[in-house]
Structure 1
């Protein structure tokens, strides 16, 4: 998506019959939709008709209309299959995004594609159409404000749909509250904090209790979640960037390169180089 309708905000509706159409319509010249990429903005897609196979952070989703998809700026994604699709898409950076919505989006990341009922889809489609009309009124004195506010209204609709699928805070058990707090800490600190005891300390609870809460809620230990999050970021960098494995290890807080290599192989079942080569073939 380009910045056709304003700096740091983009919105468009496109129809396509095949992957080539998607290449032409949604990506910059020289890029291909089949290659993994990341955007520097929060991206949202309203699938109005058709079917898409989308890979997000190395998981493939078969998405049927009507659905809405949110992709965080950090997430690597690529389109695998497109079949007679009409999609509306909008993107916005942190500066133009309502701070309240930004906080909520961070809490629901990673978000899976979400199917919409007929009434909700109609509301989304009408709101998108209105935003597109605002985008055409470039001579209006408050053009950028209209665009920003209408785009944020769309994002509020997206967030509200995801929140409707999750438990409200007052209905969470103590174990779930602790696990949620741990995940938020992990997302912000995986590059610097590696040990369960350090996370327990930041949450003012004991390490055994943190492990009990997380394992009871998710089925996996704190160490498992830490390792999975670090390796996910390593996968993203291996897939998307041209950095060497050693540079990636350093970026993720590992001066001990052999240890990082063993960790990656333990979690994925292959070396970092093998993963990069496999996904670039």
Structure 2
């Protein structure tokens, strides 16, 4: 098996810790030049004054790779534009965008504040869009100038976004929107040589281990030396492959990754139906709905639902 050798330039957002850190290290190990973005935020998005991105860059450089630090807010329109511009100025191009940055404000919907909702939507959903928008504008210009690149965008959704998660309504809504925006962007950007895919990872991060004792115990590393299925490094090989030229025929798809398991998730699609050929009367619809629900696949249960 020939290793992937990426002579490419990649941006990884939220790359100071957790899964994003592993993405940055994996891209660098595969030969890519990496812009390591992180604003140094706590789990709730508040600024901590730390600069974990510097530590990641130092680790990459010590291993013989090339990387630079970026501390822009990806959900700021100007910040996202500056991040894309920095990659081009530092390394002469941009080939891969990995949207990973995010944080949590977990509450039940009836207890959630307007800020709790707005802030999570802003960083996850707007942060993905702002970065996608500025990177795609660069790639469109390259394509129109006759220098089309094999550009790649890898977004980060979540099982919460695909199936729902009790107590995470804001996060689930943002991640669901990211999955759909991935499909949308793939359809709109393909003509410029851009593929757009998403992952829904399951791994041990600050987010998962802060979600209560039961979740922390489930995510803990094994003590018997067996395969650590929750190691965040397990997620990155697929992301590196999706960022490579080899993935040119794959776009608009959402993959779940956990341990050594990779699966593809189907989005909304029509299943059972009945067509009367004319307008329904409300009194007729009870049996009809029962029939089509009986024929349709059973939905995956919402995480945490009783």
What TM-score results when the alignment is normalised by the length of structure 2? Answer: 0.24
- Structure with the higher strand share, 1 or 2: 1
